[in-house]
Amino acid sequence: MKLENLKQIMKKYGKAWENQDTDLILDCFEKKGIYQESPHSKPYKGYKEIKRFWKKEVCQNSKNIKFKLKKCYLSKDKNIGFAEWECKNKYKGRQNHMVGIMIIKMKNNKITCLNEYWNTK
């Protein structure tokens, strides 16, 4: 993985989040990619499960989304990417300020596994 590829996929991810675009979020992942939104949530595997989660949580429950990509890093062996981010949105009618980090594995410039860790202020 290259740092520039990680930054590009994270910018696309942020754009998909802000625009509530399920097609664009799926374009970030490999067909059998895994998205784990929180360490205590079940992982969503493949396009069908990711799309279902995204439609409910992002498209139905979120509004006024502003995503900001912060620093990105690669592991020493360049097999794992780390992306710091923050997001302001309205979730279920309540204003949120989220900060977090994503741990990402990629293949062919697509996400194969994404683990998200975040906190809401």
Residue 81 belongs to a domain with what CATH number?
3.10.450.50
- pLDDT for residue 121: 77
Cα gap 28→9, rounded to integer Å: 6
Average pLDDT (30-43) is 94
**pLDDT at residue 39 above 90?**
no
Domain count, the chain: 1
pLDDT at 120: 84
Domain limits at 101? Answer: 3-120
What mean pLDDT is reported for the chain? 95
pLDDT digits (tens, 9 = 90+) for 63-120: 999 999 999 999 999 999 999 999 999 988 899 999 999 999 999 999 999 999 999 8
pLDDT at 26 over 90: yes
Model pLDDT, residue 61: 87
Q: Tell me the average pLDDT across 3-26.
A: 96
pTM of the model: 0.93
